[in-house]
Structure 1
């Protein structure tokens, strides 16, 4: 989302012009911007019925594409060229200072309210935001915005701002190239400058739209936040700017223009309302669904060009009442929201995250009040910080000074976030402990363990404390492992480890057991792809029921049958869906195939599910780990194998588990006697799995397990 643009003359080029620029008002677009930011804020505040409020970002993209392309075309028409320095200078003083202020305040707020590791993570996220790369940063983490994967980040909303900044850098180059080719080569006899720009913008728009539609079903995170899958919405606005001369026809047929504008405008408003209330986080998005809010916003803008909404603009037909939707959008409350929209967008999300961090309150009425308070901050920020910089005469005259202001904002944002990250690492490095003495006996051999102090792994190192090789846990979006995931002697006893990431966190322990007994371990594990054959739920785009996951499971089961294993270890997350019947049917389907191999099946009971980032919590609770305790039944756990064995069924399957060591009844612990159990919100650290390995061996031995699988 860019800064406020109400009039074209406020964006006038600083270079001399040949033709004076006309003064044109866009109060309806200012109001549309106000509607867009309001939708986003209501969505983030979890206000009921505004389930698709995130489409406000789509509207921003269309508005920006229209205004920026219009500005570039008009400048080229007036001067025969483009002042890239002038363009980037205007963007620098409009966008960067306000964003830098929010970034600095956000990291200070994080330092005052969040545990150490979370401050570090916020610093990394905000660093990416300061570098205008937030969208690619989140994509590198495979973070799905609509799935709530980055809801706790203070920089979540910067993904869209980063896309706009990246397009602001590239768009003038594309427009200039098209215009220059059409006006400075022999092609000028064939096509006009506007037609050439339209062809280029149209081609980019079409290519981006096709990419968005094709990628959405298979990689929704990339489709949602990648620049190349969102550029088409910017392009739709750009095409409106290209065909702007057609809107002049209103002078020849004012009555028809008024009628068309009324129909188009209200149809666009209706489309925005439908999108904001009918689309939700489960809708495959953007894909084809994004066509609705995008084209609706385009209709509203086009209607305003046919029949200007501003009272200051001349009516195409005097004495004709203005019944357009633009007239509503041009009312003072909405134009005011449009005026402060950029600042409100910047401030409301950090306000929500910091408030939830401090209070734990997350009900929509409370979050809405917090967002309204952020509107007050945004108003002050706009009036006393953003607009004084934008309207400063010296900065408007001196493009170099404007660019310096932008560079300074970027440097300040980068410097403050880097310093915050370095300081947190330095502080955390004091809380380290050697793990050489850690063993099953040292951790679980005493009744009263240490309740505080440094842990292994250090919370800052916990995320990377995973089984090796990492590639044997196939990531979401990948069809197969990038390495050979078979371990042990060529002619060893064939053993299989099968399941999702909750099976993978036992992989080194299984291989360690196997090294003692001559096993040839074949690992089949994929992230977010359960062993149980869960089926898609109507209207829900769960990653664990995507075609990619189903195909991997089918291939894995076929390979397992071909291996003819003697022993199969299987484990899987127990909290995928709350419907017991669905889970039981899914397990029955998978177990039927596994039993057909004739192998001895060992089920490793699912470990406790904290549901929050344990390392983050522990980093702020070194003085009392119990502040991070959680309940075993805090989430619905469904493990049909355990239920059946409790009824005397499925006795052919051996079950083992360690929950009695990680919990005391229903109360589960994040750490014990210097060891940190979890590397994130559900997975064991590799260190914990290593220490717990003797517990698995003990249970196998007590069951008189035949390690040869006979």
Structure 2
């Protein structure tokens, strides 16, 4: 989402050289924000509405680069203080207002842990670092990983803010070298800026394309992988005088403007209708909406407005079949005027509405977005524009910067306070002298339905097996720790799978410590034990080359170890196609069987699909508020199905679902113990307490702990 959109039309671009009002760009901003809002509201067919952000990046690159170049051409320098003062009063106050209202809304509607998480995200947003906050979580925007955050939409704003810090420096450096050194004889100022902007654009595009298949989150939200779209707009600004040259035939110029304008608009429409959340993005797919926006802007520059041109003349200029005729219509220019505020308000409105009502249908979310448009209009007219157009602030750069700093400080202070208060309240709900065991949790018929739990929901996320490094994270292929445990001459045992295998690692090591096992752990996050193949046209994170190569290497290493026992487990909800899962497991089991080891399959644990710890932080007075169905997601476990049919009897299967669920109803906690640390994984505490259940089932299966 752009913030420099306010350089037009709420306030014409002001440089010592000119004051120009771009109706067509205002309308293009209106279309861009409308696309993003429709996408967030899940309106059918607008599957690629998120490309509206790409359009904003192009617009911002054009407006800012144009402003900087024209100022340098006129004054021979750049006023960095003036530049940052304009950004401060235009961008920060409105964002700070939304951040403060959002965290208040979270405190009124969400459980404590979720309030704390929202505070952290909004804190990052206030500091203009939201994109890096989400990247630190390896959050995939298109996969919906951060849909519950009130700060989700701030990722793009943060990118723009970060670019605003470096872009003027790059333009100034290029311009100064070209105009103040001997190079001025050979290179014009505009050409030098174009070379620098072009180099940034090409380098960033290459990075984006290379990152998309291997690290989609970074490709989508990292500043360096999005700068190229800013650069595309900048290159149009550099070349603007070429567009404005007097053509031998004005009619030919008008025809060209019409053709490229509608061609660009068609590119945007095609992108919106054909790109979706499964498209590898940005990659090469982002070229379509980006170049489409560039062509639309270039079309307007072929018939540019002139300084101080009256509105009537601008209206006559837009008469005819050019794309600017559509873009300059009052509804679209109005949306462009309120685009920043609408972008800021619509997403928190959707998240809070879903939190309170649970409704997610697109008509309901669209209605909420329309209400947010009303809020945005009021915010623009009575808060944002009065600050932007205040004469004293426009005259006094220091005062404008102070307004911006105040907005940042307020946003940081309020969100930080909310986070601290949430932690203080939650710290009261702790279990004193908790010594949980299998008997204390599962040996009693009477179960407590309420009260503090272990671990405390605020501590649950970190209650995971040690060492953490033995679960190889997404984006890496090697463990950051020695993951062989036990005596050198011990019985060779393997633990193999994804994070659902890793959740049992300490329990397996505990069992192995009494039987002289040497355990070799091969676990990688989001990388299934079953050999799932890539699906045509679908960019599944668990079928990337990084994952498939790791699995192939791990199976090869397992074979070379000649293990006596292999424990294997994996998430059962990766794909809903049974045939594909059957084939994938057959591939993996064929390799494991060839080792001659006794295979022990640990059945997949229940999958809540929502953050249990978040829910429990607001439900300690009634844990059943966080109950969930076992069949809420399609679970495919071929080994269990085969054994039910009398097949695969060479594999021992163990599991704990009968302890975590009552028929189809599964529980988040029992007798003071919290079972889940997130939306699918057991806490390390729960796995430890459940270890005797695994041992009992192994004993009942007459399992040979020596692996003979």
TM-score, normalising length: structure 1: 0.98
1:280 aligned partner: 276
- Tell me the alpha carbon deviations over residues 579-629 of structure 1, each in whole angstroms, 9 at most, x when there is no partner: 111111110110000000000000000000000000000000010000000
1:5 paired to 2:7: yes
Q: How does 1:256-295 map to 2 (within 5 A)?
A: 256-295=252-291
Q: CA deviation at 1:22?
A: 2.5
1:109 aligned partner: 105
2:52 aligned partner: 56
Write the distance in 2 (CA, Å) between the matches of 1:236 and 1:63: 9
Write the distance in 2 (CA, Å) between the matches of 1:533 and 1:459: 34
Write the distance in 1 (CA, Å) between the matches of 2:156 and 2:445: 52
2:12·2:21 contact (CA, 8 Å) conserved in 1?
A: no
1:213 aligned partner: 209
2:10·2:385 contact (CA, 8 Å) conserved in 1?
A: no
1:132·1:161 contact (CA, 8 Å) conserved in 2?
A: yes
2:485·2:509 contact (CA, 8 Å) conserved in 1?
A: yes
Write the distance in 1 (CA, Å) between the matches of 2:416 and 2:496: 41
Q: CA deviation at 1:262?
A: 0.2
Q: CA deviation at 1:250?
A: 3.9
1:301 aligned partner: 297
Moved more, 411-420 or 249-258: 249-258
Q: CA deviation at 1:9?
A: 7.0
Write the distance in 1 (CA, Å) between the matches of 2:360 and 2:318: 49
Write the distance in 1 (CA, Å) between the matches of 2:480 and 2:313: 65
1:243 paired to 2:239: yes
Q: 1:186 aligns with which of 182, 196, 200?
A: 182
Structure 1, unmatched stretches of 5+, are none
**How many residues in Structure 1 have an aligned counterpart in Structure 2?**
704
1:31 paired to 2:27: yes
Moved more, 122-131 or 320-329: 320-329
Q: How does 1:445-524 map to 2 (within 5 A)?
A: 445-524=443-522
1:551 aligned partner: 549
Write the distance in 2 (CA, Å) between the matches of 1:596 and 1:630: 39
Q: CA deviation at 1:379?
A: 0.1
Q: Is the alpha carbon distance of 1:202 and 1:255 closer, same or farther for their aligned partners in structure 2, counting shifts above 3 Å?
A: same
1:307·1:315 contact (CA, 8 Å) conserved in 2?
A: no
Q: Secondary structure at the match of 1:289?
A: coil
Q: CA deviation at 1:210?
A: 0.5
Write the distance in 1 (CA, Å) between the matches of 2:429 and 2:319: 72
Q: CA deviation at 1:321?
A: 4.9
Write the distance in 1 (CA, Å) between the matches of 2:319 and 2:555: 70
1:350 aligned partner: 348
2:13·2:20 contact (CA, 8 Å) conserved in 1?
A: no
1:158 aligned partner: 154
Write the distance in 2 (CA, Å) between the matches of 1:220 and 1:355: 29
Write the distance in 2 (CA, Å) between the matches of 1:575 and 1:249: 60
1:22 paired to 2:23: no
Q: CA deviation at 1:435?
A: 5.7
1:127 paired to 2:141: no
- Tell me the alpha carbon deviations over residues 456-503 of structure 1, each in whole angstroms, 9 at most, x when there is no partner: 000000000000000100011101111110000000000000000000
Q: Is the alpha carbon distance of 1:706 and 1:165 closer, same or farther for their aligned partners in structure 2, counting shifts above 3 Å?
A: same
1:8·1:71 contact (CA, 8 Å) conserved in 2?
A: no
1:423 paired to 2:424: no
1:142 aligned partner: 138
Structure 2, unmatched stretches of 5+, are none
Q: How does 1:333-344 map to 2 (within 5 A)?
A: 333-344=331-342
Q: CA deviation at 1:120?
A: 0.2
Q: CA deviation at 1:434?
A: 3.8
Q: Is the alpha carbon distance of 1:318 and 1:63 closer, same or farther for their aligned partners in structure 2, counting shifts above 3 Å?
A: closer
Q: Is the alpha carbon distance of 1:45 and 1:421 closer, same or farther for their aligned partners in structure 2, counting shifts above 3 Å?
A: same
| Superposition CA RMSD, Å | 1.5
1:228 aligned partner: 224
1:107·1:119 contact (CA, 8 Å) conserved in 2?
A: yes
- Tell me the alpha carbon deviations over residues 539-561 of structure 1, each in whole angstroms, 9 at most, x when there is no partner: 11111111111000100000000
1:454·1:622 contact (CA, 8 Å) conserved in 2?
A: yes
